Structure 1
Amino acid sequence: MVKIEPFAVEQWMDDHETTATYNIAETCCASISLDDLQNLSTQQPDPNNQNSIFSFSRSTKLAYGAIRGSEQLRGHLSRLYSIKTSTPLPADNVLITSGAIQGNFLLHHALVGPGDHVIVHYPTYQQLYSVVEAIGAEVSLWKAKEDDENGWVLDTEELKGLIRPNTKLIVLNNPQNPTGAIIPKSKLEEIVNIARSQSIIIHADEVYRPIFHGISPVDAEFPPSLLSLGYKNAVVTGSMSKAYSLAGIRVGWIASRNKEIIDRCMVFRDYTTISVSQIDDAVASFALAPHTIHSLLHRNIQLAKTNLAILEKFIESHRWACDWKKPLAGTTAFVRFSKMGRPVDDVAFCTLLHEKTGVLVVPGSRCFGRDGDFKGYVRIGYVSETEVLEKGLEKLREFMKGEYVDDVPLAR
């Protein structure tokens, strides 16, 4: 029987989010409705199909649909991954999945077996190391270090030292959850060169791409997608949930320039969901089409900038208890809470905050840490509706004046 670790962050959210009044733990850009999506688009509704904003009508037969994903949806994704590259990505090199979480799961089962070795960028989403461990692989955590000037930094010399003869896969998360850090272009190129020299596959979970708000696309270190760096054994996963505000349609994808990787994932896919809902596929296609995607991403990047400034103001006014490396991308911040220089018990802090104020955040040591890592750290999701963030931070501000000082214990 396969044993797998409980998924700590998902269990935390499941246990608390339905009773939270102010959910500032959510990692998606504020969700939108179909009406919102239509309003963001420059395409006018079809007068002959008033019941639908996308190429799907009530008369469409609800069969399985396109097993690998519709040509339209895979075409939009291939176009996005072909920007600023000399070789376009074929649509057949994209596989549509039920969210990125299924994409990651299928990919790791397709690429890794018992006795293999996997190196995982850390801290990160627990799925990216727990699934390969359950398969029977050995895992080395490639730990990002906090740097006062550069945020959370990876050392490629350390990566070289982690590689073993049986290293099969290097897993990255860019932009990163929970820190909001990026792996800059030059560092990505170093990683690719190291992997290429030993024919190691690189997987980048890019679900928070392209929500970049602290670095400009004209910056020399702006991180491109891993697929644009010319390495055949690179594979990425993505999703409509985080950057595109459509978690409810459960659409993600796997994409690679190595078609064999996609075909191997498809073998495992046949044993799971078979296909994505035709309706979900159609909504995703509408959102990623040229007439909609630019307005949608502008909305979400501006929301991230606005809300991050609000969160930064809170951090700066509570420097006696808070510290962080300001996020450059994504939707999450990893904030360290302390008393007199010592980290607090972040689980007790988050539990008490939820009970007393209805504010939901995520404890770092329980949901992202191993072996005592990240005591005192709390993940805050700040790209919710601005009003929710403001009210949540106001309740947190009141909490900091009372219960935080009197009742929150220090970490052991």
Structure 2
Amino acid sequence: MVKIEPFAVEAWMDAHETKCEYNIAETCCASISLDQLQQLSEDKERPLIDTANILNYGDIRGSDALRQNLSRLYSAKGNFLSPQNILTTAGAIQANYLVAYSLVGPGDHVICHYPTYQSLYEVPKQLGAKVDLWHTRAEDDWAPKIDDLKSLIKPNTKLIILNNPQNPTGAIIKKPLLQQIVDVASEHNIVLFGDEVYRPLFHSINPMDSEFPPSLLSMGYKKTIVTGSMSKAYSLAGVRVGWIASRDPELIETIAEARHYTTISVSQLDEQVAAYALHPNTVHSLLARNIQLAQKNLELMERFMIKNEDECSWVKPLAGTTAFVKISRDGKPVDSVDFCQQLLEKTGVLWVPGSTCFGDEFKGYVRIGYVNHTEIIKEGLDKATKFIRKHLDNVKLAE
């Protein structure tokens, strides 16, 4: 029997997210309705759904319309990616699972960028691989060190896993370091796998910046796989559409074979909505809406951090939807679970405890999702400030 560790962050959200008043743990940009999506389109008369379409299994590997639109997004600056090199999945969580399920097993070694979403390192473990975590630290602005990566390489290393932008910190692996990582993977002929689910939500670094990170698919290394989703940057978690893309047809075919055991096809209705959202008539205004929302709400986060500078510290995120904030009392980290439980009980504000959901080493840390609707973020942060000033002395310290 496979040993499955509890999925801590999902268990926390499952237990609390429908019972809170202010969800500031949510990692998606504020979700939108189908009506709102249509209003964002330049062609508002174009129907979202083809109601005459027969609801059979549809295109097994993903609809032509959706894969064409994804191909366009990955083919910037003439670096064409064929739609045939894209597979759709039921969300990025299935995409990530399939990459590991297809490529690693007992006797293999995997290196995973850390901290990150638990499934990225737990699933390879469940499949029998040995996993080493490539640690990042706040004092380094959560940037991984290339020498640490080199020291982790083994003869049986099959996969290097990156999360860029990073959950929970909002940090990015900048282009120069990304190139060094590609060079290491290429030297050792290791598959490089990038979870890019928060891409392209870059709100605090300009695309013209020389350090702006391109997708891994644009870095010139063939043995690269990326995953993405409609959930985070595109505000459509409810359609449950993700994808896997690679410039290596052999990798795509290997994953496609494994995919048959988990997915016949993705819902036609979901794929039609996703294709509509990623169409050139819609995607630019949708992303502009979400980047503006992130920038506006990040200003609220910055004010919160200034108000609570004696108790809270962080590395300001450059991308994505989350911030990783350390909370201390008299210079000592609080018990993040006790803090989050009391915060929820007394104010209705939901945060995620870092020590439980991202690793014991993150004592005092909480993950805050700040790209929900602005009024929720503002009111929730105001209540959190009042809680810190009134109740922090009653919160346990981390052991």
Normalised by the length of structure 1, the TM-score is: 0.96
CA distance in 2 between counterparts of 1:384 and 1:314 reads 16
CA distance in 2 between counterparts of 1:78 and 1:249 reads 20
Deviation at 1:44, TM superposition (A): 2.9
CA distance in 2 between counterparts of 1:90 and 1:125 reads 29
Alignment of 1:139-288 (within 5 A): 139-147=131-139, 151-288=141-278
Which structure 2 segments of 5+ residues have no match?
A: none
Identity percentage over the alignment? 60
Aligned mate of 1:83, from 76, 100, 107: 76
Counterpart in 1 of 2:331? 341
Counterpart in 2 of 1:116? 108
1:146-198 CA-to-partner distances (Å, cap 9, x unmatched) read 23xx6211110110010000000000000000000000000000000000001
CA distance in 2 between counterparts of 1:138 and 1:239 reads 27
Q: Secondary structure at the match of 1:217?
A: coil
Aligned mate of 1:382, from 348, 365, 370: 370
Which structure 1 segments of 5+ residues have no match?
A: 47-52
CA distance in 1 between counterparts of 2:338 and 2:80 reads 50
- 2:381 maps to amino acid: L
Q: Secondary structure at the match of 2:4?
A: coil
Alignment of 1:302-321 (within 5 A): 302-321=292-311
Aligned mate of 1:128, from 120, 129, 138: 120
CA distance in 2 between counterparts of 1:190 and 1:29 reads 31
Q: Secondary structure at the match of 1:291?
A: coil
Q: Does residue 94 in structure 1 map to residue 86 in structure 2?
A: yes
Counterpart in 2 of 1:20? 20
Q: Does residue 409 in structure 1 map to residue 389 in structure 2?
A: no
- 1:11 maps to amino acid: A
Normalised by the length of structure 2, the TM-score is: 0.99
- 2:109 maps to amino acid: H
- 1:79 maps to amino acid: R
Counterpart in 2 of 1:38? 38
CA distance in 2 between counterparts of 1:240 and 1:197 reads 33
Counterpart in 1 of 2:67? 74
Report the number of matched residues.
399
- 1:191 maps to amino acid: I
CA distance in 2 between counterparts of 1:14 and 1:282 reads 28
Deviation at 1:80, TM superposition (A): 0.8
CA distance in 2 between counterparts of 1:393 and 1:59 reads 47
Counterpart in 2 of 1:396? 384
Report the aligned-residue RMSD: 0.9
1:59-100 CA-to-partner distances (Å, cap 9, x unmatched) read 221101111101111011111111025x41111000000000
1:355-397 CA-to-partner distances (Å, cap 9, x unmatched) read 111110000010001xx31000000000000000011111111
CA distance in 2 between counterparts of 1:44 and 1:247 reads 22
Aligned mate of 2:54, from 49, 61, 68: 61
Q: Secondary structure at the match of 2:298?
A: helix
Contact 2:160–2:191 under 8 Å retained in 1: yes
- 1:67 maps to amino acid: I
Q: Secondary structure at the match of 2:368?
A: strand
CA distance in 1 between counterparts of 2:77 and 2:119 reads 31
CA distance in 2 between counterparts of 1:364 and 1:115 reads 31
- 1:360 maps to amino acid: L
1:251-288 CA-to-partner distances (Å, cap 9, x unmatched) read 00000001111111111211112111111000000000
Contact 1:84–1:228 under 8 Å retained in 2: no
- 2:261 maps to amino acid: Y
- 2:308 maps to amino acid: H
Contact 1:94–1:253 under 8 Å retained in 2: yes
- 2:342 maps to amino acid: L
CA distance in 2 between counterparts of 1:282 and 1:32 reads 16
Q: Secondary structure at the match of 1:262?
A: helix
- 1:248 maps to amino acid: G
1:314-341 CA-to-partner distances (Å, cap 9, x unmatched) read 0111011000000000000000000111
CA distance in 2 between counterparts of 1:202 and 1:245 reads 27
Counterpart in 2 of 1:105? 97
CA distance in 2 between counterparts of 1:323 and 1:60 reads 53
Deviation at 1:57, TM superposition (A): 2.7
CA distance in 2 between counterparts of 1:351 and 1:321 reads 18
Contact 1:241–1:247 under 8 Å retained in 2: yes
Q: Secondary structure at the match of 1:378?
A: strand
CA distance in 2 between counterparts of 1:136 and 1:113 reads 5
Q: Does residue 325 in structure 1 map to residue 315 in structure 2?
A: yes
Contact 1:214–1:329 under 8 Å retained in 2: yes
Contact 2:329–2:392 under 8 Å retained in 1: no
CA distance in 1 between counterparts of 2:143 and 2:118 reads 19
- 1:167 maps to amino acid: T
1:211-258 CA-to-partner distances (Å, cap 9, x unmatched) read 001100000000000000010001000000000000000000000001
**Structure 1 runs, 4 residues or longer, greater than 6 Å off:** none
Counterpart in 2 of 1:11? 11
Contact 1:100–1:253 under 8 Å retained in 2: yes
CA distance in 2 between counterparts of 1:64 and 1:321 reads 54
